[in-house]
């Protein structure tokens, strides 16, 4: 199901971010959070302290990202069933991102899983995925526009 019209908007979404070395990740995370929150979805963002600090600087009033947590704490909450999002979006620009995506698939077998694979050479990373998920693959490091277009299409936000 790629259409997220108003009646198909998930109640909750989890965004899993990796290391912030590729700039498009933070811009797209804010874009996605804005789009879902505008439709009433509760958005939680998890990642390492560096990426969360970058997002806190970008959103000091927590308008787009009111709820964040360190990845290890979030994984513990998922294991303990304290968190159960309908949608999980994992950003992957390295092997670690693919591992996070596999972990999320294991912990959230009933949730929709979308993996956004990006960076200088995303195709080999995309080929590593051997579990059920939707993939958005785009060569993107500094310019998020083409990747944003694909994200918008997958989530039904295309203008």
pLDDT in tens, 4-61: 444 478 999 999 999 999 999 999 999 999 999 999 999 999 999 999 999 999 999 9
Instruction: State both tokens at 143.
Output: 């310019």
Distance, CA of 4 to CA of 10 (rounded, Å): 8
User: SS3 of 91, please?
Assistant: strand
Domains of the chain are: 11-155 (3.40.50.10160)
Sorting pLDDT into bands at 50, 70 and 90, what band is 158? confident
User: SS3 of 30, please?
Assistant: helix
Element (H, E) at 55: helix 49-58
The pLDDT value given to residue 159:
60
pTM of the model: 0.94
Given a contact cutoff of 8 angstroms between Cβ atoms, the answer to whether 92 and 115 are in contact is yes
């Amino acid at each position: 199901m790629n259409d997220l019209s108003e009646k198909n908007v998930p109640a909750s979404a989890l965004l899993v971010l990796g290391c912030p070395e590729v700039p498009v990740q933070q811009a797209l995370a804010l874009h996605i959070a804005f789009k879902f929150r505008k439709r009433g979805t509760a958005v939680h963002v998890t990642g390492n302290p560096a990426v969360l600090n970058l997002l806190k600087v970008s959103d000091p009033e927590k308008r787009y990202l009111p709820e964040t947590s360190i990845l290890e704490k979030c994984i513990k909450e998922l294991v303990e069933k304290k968190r159960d999002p309908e949608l999980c979006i994992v950003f992957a620009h390295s092997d670690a991102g693919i591992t996070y995506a596999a972990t999320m698939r294991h912990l959230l077998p009933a949730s929709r899983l979308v993996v956004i694979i990006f960076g200088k050479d995303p195709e080999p990373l995309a080929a590593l995925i051997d579990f059920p998920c939707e993939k958005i693959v785009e060569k993107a490091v500094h310019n998020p526009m083409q990747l944003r277009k694909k994200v918008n299409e997958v989530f039904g936000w295309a203008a």
